[in-house]
Chains A and B, each alone.
With several copies, the nearest count.
Chain A
């Protein structure tokens, strides 16, 4: 998991809302950039039950861990650029929480790398979510899901990197 990526990488961990479309526009296409995949994760309202999520994070480690995940993605797929933006603090229903953008020559690498980054980010990047109910009351910390562990572990075997 050590090492630097050999392509342009943008990592931002910030409190302010971001605009996924502006981030996508920032990516200038290289001659061989044939495929760009973006994933935007948004705060769901759970049928009106929630007003927001509150995200705690571990400053310093988050950035280091995201850089490691991106470097690992770069070893598995021929990437041309990666952007990861993750918010912390209070995130209202409907607002974006996380954005992952991957660029490659071909679609398979871009799709796989984006899915890989999201799966590993969910289980490895030090963020913790707490629910804020519709009436503003802080609620429970969200528990990690077995589904997310399963999604992350499908990338464990080196042969899964195809």
Chain B
């Protein structure tokens, strides 16, 4: 699965995207966040405040309890500030 990061989340985790092999029992976006946070302090820091992290599955907004299902790409980013 491709994971992408944007804006200050990208800066904090130190990469724009990566391919990950999903470990077993990771079923929802929230499960994935929990697993990512276990990978090191840069992830722990980036995801420490869940209230300001947004997610998308295959280009569609998702919430922490959205199931990953067959999604090819998951993205994490701060609240949007376009327009």
Contact = CB atoms under 8 A, between A and B. Distances in A.
Interface of A: 41, 55-58, 60-61, 64-65, 86, 97-98, 107, 118, 121-130, 141-144
Contacts of B80: 122-128, 144
Interface string B64-83: 00000000000101111111
Interface size class of B (residues with CB under 8 A): 10 to 19
B15 interface: no
Given A86-B83, A122-B81, A125-B82, 12 more contacts: A41-B83, A56-B6, A56-B7, A58-B4, A64-B60, A97-B83, A125-B80, A126-B75, A127-B82, A128-B78, A128-B82, A144-B81
B77 A58 contact: yes
Contacts of A125: 80, 82-83
B54 to A, nearest CB: 8
Given A58-B6, A141-B7, A121 B56 contact: no
Contact of A122 (B56, B61, B83): B83
Contacts of B81: 122, 127-129, 141-144
B63 to A, nearest CB: 13
Given A58-B75, A61-B56, A61-B59, A121 B82 contact: yes
B83 A126 contact: no
B35 interface: no
Contact of A98 (B7, B60, B77, B83): B83
B61 A128 contact: no
